[in-house]
Structure 1
Amino acid sequence: MENKLKLYGFNNLTKSLSFNIYDVCYAKTPREQQDYIEYVDEQYNSERLTSILTRVTEMIGAQVLNISKQDYDPQGASVTCLIAEGQSPSADRDTIVAHLDKSHVTVHTYPEYHPDNSLATFRVDIDVATCGEITPLYTLDYLIRSFDSDIITMDYRVRGFTRNVEGKKLYMDHKMISIQDYIEPKILQRYDAVDLNVYQANLFHTKMLIKEIDLQNYLFNTDVYEISPEKRLEIMTSLRREMVEIFSGVEVY
């Protein structure tokens, strides 16, 4: 707290973190593809996602004011948490507690499968918006470990301004070079990472692609030794192509 900014009024900077992951799987038949979709739908239902968002809220030093959650038919789930920094509303009717630093955390899942190449993909989008001193960047290690992530894309932006005691406008209240600085080195070692940052706009973007593919981890209801070496190579090639295209954001092949 020694380097805490001395402000005129309160810190009203808005900090937004968008965290997106993709998990790719090989499912050779339409039935296996559907089974995979049902599997991830159960693994990451609204109850599990609520638990993850609640933990994220705790990590940024906030509290949950309200939760809205929904499991969709035929697939997918969403959770929205309204959160605030500070104490809970008092049960004493003579006391009113104002929440100046209102924020929210949301998550949505998107299971889908490719119609032709036996690949299924599970996407998770998490958005954390905070106001004030809190930055959601310190939740990244936990979020990455909470999902099987082949591709990760992250955006962080600081918007608005606050003022110091002399009245000077401040558009950033902490030093920022790269999102990667907030990720544990052991996690980063598993990925190829690229930054695309616009420092003048306080806009930071990082995307990460898994380096090593253990084929068994990508087979659904199939043992790797049941597959011929030629087929293994074909599957590995399909998986890597799918990941590279998602990572690149363009149809490469």
Structure 2
Amino acid sequence: MAKKRIKLHGFNNLTKTLSFNIYDIAYTSSKAQQQEYIEYIDEEYNARRLTHILTDVSNIIGANILNIARQDYDPQGASVTMLISEEAVAAGELDNRETPGPLPDAVVGHLDKSHITVHTYPEYHPENGISTFRADIDVSTCGRISPLKALNYLVHSFESDIVIMDYRVRGFTRNEKGGKLFIDHNINSIQNFVSRDIKNAYEMIDVNVYQENIFHTKMMLKKFDINNYLFGINDDDLTGKEEAVVTDNLRREMAEIFYGQNMKKGMKF
């Protein structure tokens, strides 16, 4: 049963922002494969495709799209920014409970909102053959419902080895008696808004600052199949020693991104 709605004085002035990075990692054994991977990513996640994804997000959150600015970059990368306006949220549709939002096959839900942005950053390691694609996504809303309801759709829209998420509620609004409210919904972890299939697939850790309404969750894919990371080749093309080196480099890349620090050679992951 939904929690009774808080009566406010005027407009809800809270700003709720979900920011997250997704990383896709691949092994590219030659300069030609590195370039081929970059071209693949640029085609798979070009400005047009990203616009489609963000349009779906705007549908999830019930937004009117006012303006779209998108750009593909040379030599690589793309950006899309959408300015969006509010629609009325019908009585009974507001739901801020700590439950997962819709998956791609069930795109329903509504948020009060302001903007959505995505920027991509494909790159490759100059020596060890590791190529990494990063997408930075921000969904910022002004009003009653949290953008966390769009989280599951976004995670499912990208092939992600690492996901790093930040959620923050800023500012304050007032109740009808004039008292300040610095958050208007219950939350103790971003994980409570994540669907079960995602939880089962990823190792997850939290770093939260509850008194500041700041929530941080990191996710790293649990299952490691080297063929999912080889680009242009498969494991039959590698000797046993080569496969061990490639596996170590891939795991190192994932661990360094997940823990946010460079790892010394010889460390086990």
TM range (shorter): over 0.9
Identify unmatched segments of 5+ residues in structure 1: 88-100
Identify the match of residue 124 of structure 1 among 135, 143, 155. 135
Identify the match of residue 162 of structure 1 among 143, 157, 173. 173
**1:2 Cα deviation after fit:** 5.5
Native 8 Å contact 2:63 2:113 kept in 1: no
Q: Deviations over 1:133-165 (max 9, x none)?
A: 121101111111111111100000000111111
Which residue matches 1:227?
238
Percent of aligned positions that are identical:
57
Which residue matches 1:95?
none
Output the CA distance in 1 between the equivalents of 2:154 and 2:113: 22
Q: For residue 209 of structure 1, what is the amino acid of its counterpart?
A: M
Which residue matches 1:98?
none
Q: Deviations over 1:222-243 (max 9, x none)?
A: 0222222222122111100110
- Are 2:249 and 1:238 aligned? yes
Which residue matches 2:148?
137
**1:61 Cα deviation after fit:** 2.0
Native 8 Å contact 1:60 1:135 kept in 2: no
Native 8 Å contact 1:61 1:134 kept in 2: no
Q: Deviations over 1:21-68 (max 9, x none)?
A: 011100000110011011001100000000111111111222211100
Moved over 6 A (4+): none
Which residue matches 2:227?
216
Output the CA distance in 2 between the equivalents of 1:197 and 1:209: 18
Alignment of 1:1-253 (within 5 A): 3-86=4-87, 103-253=114-264
Identify unmatched segments of 5+ residues in structure 2: 89-111, 265-269
Q: For residue 217 of structure 1, what is the amino acid of its counterpart?
A: N
Q: For residue 156 of structure 2, what is the amino acid of its counterpart?
A: R
SS of the aligned residue for 1:207 comes to strand
Native 8 Å contact 1:49 1:79 kept in 2: yes
**1:11 Cα deviation after fit:** 0.6
Output the CA distance in 1 between the equivalents of 2:134 and 2:40: 13
**1:166 Cα deviation after fit:** 1.0
Output the CA distance in 1 between the equivalents of 2:204 and 2:116: 25
Q: For residue 16 of structure 1, what is the amino acid of its counterpart?
A: T
Output the CA distance in 1 between the equivalents of 2:153 and 2:239: 37
Native 8 Å contact 1:117 1:238 kept in 2: yes
Q: For residue 221 of structure 1, what is the amino acid of its counterpart?
A: G
- Which sits farther off after the overlay, 68-77 or 138-147? 138-147
